[in-house]
Chain A
Amino acid sequence: MTALSDQMKAGLDAPICLTWELTYACNLQCVHCLSSSGIRDKRELTTIQAEAVIDQLQEMQVFYVNIGGGEPTIRPDFWHLVDYSVSHGVGVKFSTNGSRIDAEVARDLATMDYVDVQISIDGADAATNDAVRGEGSFDTAVTAMAHLHEAGFGEFKISVVMTRHNIPQLDQFAALADRFGAQLRLTRLRPSGRGADSWNELHATNAQQIELYNWLVERPDVLTGDSFFHLSALGDPLPGLNLCGAGRVVCLVDPVGDVYACPFVLHEDFRAGNVCDAGGFASIWRESSLFAELREPQSAGACSSCGQFDACQGGCMAAKFFTGLPLDGPDPECVTGHGQALLQSAGPLPTSDADHSRPMSVSLGARR
């Protein structure tokens, strides 16, 4: 372990970046949505409240925010908030399903400094993608990519959550990114939000995890948001920090201003406060007891006898939490199989009180 990762574990004066979900409203209803988005929450931050958050981020010198949702572009003040943020020195990378990126928007985006765009897909063809994200969503996303490419935006990101059904398509995703001059970003499926309901069916098999690890080792240019550090137990560490950054280097602000330890733990147990509380975001980041606890040295628990712990760090806190596993033990997708064994006897699964799914949730497989 390097001194740097020790520093990261003890927490920074401000997050390196934070994820800010602007709205729970979404025109899609993806089966693995981390934030169980669908319907707008009446308590969502107003424009003025959102500007105040940006002012705070500027003061704390947060370099950039990852804006997501829901579908953030649905907010009528979305472009205003993007402008406000970049003009206050806080860069923006926003995630979108592409439904609002027409030719004109793409041309506008291409003229903007400090703004990066991430288009989400979860399959390299319509059949694989639409089974997770809904009918027509693949064509919508690819059309948006074509607009960005034609507008000369440059290297936008194509973001893919890795599933059992799309890991066989890794090379196709890379080819798609090349076709549009985009950069590929692969992240891990978490059993968070609606992902809890689809995780059993969608998460990678162990053989696929090995395939993915080997592919990533060959492709250091592919971004991962450090989300596969549990795979570092398979050999050399993957590029990145290789640790859980929750409350240490990252956190999440949800549409109503609640601050959570990371984007994958929208649950009251990991809620540190609200940006509208006295002291705002800065005092939550610096003083919340939850974050202080996360920055303490974490017990390896059941993993302490495993020789791989230094490499994998016990894996992802959110993945353990939402599969009912103890936090000081193996990840459910532990590459040595320790987690899988525990899943049989896992405790009751936690449910989140922040579910904004539409009443008629689409069940996985209904569209296959």
Chain B
Amino acid sequence: MSHDHNRMTSTGFDADLAYRLHPKVAIRPEPFGALAYHYDNRRLNFLRAPELVALVESIGDHPSVREAFQASGIDSRRWPSFEKALRSLAESELLIPA
């Protein structure tokens, strides 16, 4: 039972650490990328690029976010905007420390 952490918690997101998708998050493909929904806190997030979707889905396979980026093949100039998206996903607990 966890209806009680609806509000945003400010977890310090650290790209040097490992993260994984919360087990109660579902990802649904959409033309622009995907929708991600957290069944526990009922937060909905928009993953606004197909590359971001792939990154999020594979993030748990890597020992750190940085290494996930390196393995992703995403142009490093785009990393800051993607990292911002990951930070926001961590703030709403769709991504959690592994």
Interface pair B7/A221, CB less than 8 Å apart:
yes
Residues of A within 8 A of B26 (CB): 61, 63, 89
B70 within 8 A of A: no
B3 within 8 A of A: yes
Interface pair A4/B29, CB less than 8 Å apart:
no
Chain A residues within 8 Å of chain B by Cβ, number = 28
Residues of B within 8 A of A12 (CB): 30, 35
Name A7's contact: one of B2, B32, B37 (CB within 8 Å).
B32
Interface pair B31/A13, CB less than 8 Å apart:
yes
Question: Which stretch in A110-118, A162-170, A250-258, A328-336 binds the other chain?
Answer: A110-118
Question: Which stretch in A150-158, A272-280, A356-364 binds the other chain?
Answer: A150-158
B39 within 8 A of A: yes
Interface SS majority for chain B:
loop
Interface pair B31/A113, CB less than 8 Å apart:
no
Residues 70 to 119 of chain A near chain B (Cβ within 8 Å): 89, 91, 93, 110-114, 116
Complex Cα–Cα for A156 and B6 (A): 10
Residues of B within 8 A of A152 (CB): 1
Name B42's contact: one of A14, A116, A181, A221 (CB within 8 Å).
A116
Residues of B within 8 A of A155 (CB): 3-4, 6
Name B3's contact: one of A4, A16, A63, A153 (CB within 8 Å).
A153
A23 within 8 A of B: no
- 5 of the cross-chain contacts (CB-CB < 8 Å) are A4-B48, A13-B28, A13-B30, A91-B42, A221-B7
- Apart from A7-B30, A63-B35, list 8 A-B contacts with CB within 8 A: A3-B48, A4-B32, A12-B35, A63-B44, A64-B39, A112-B1, A114-B39, A116-B42
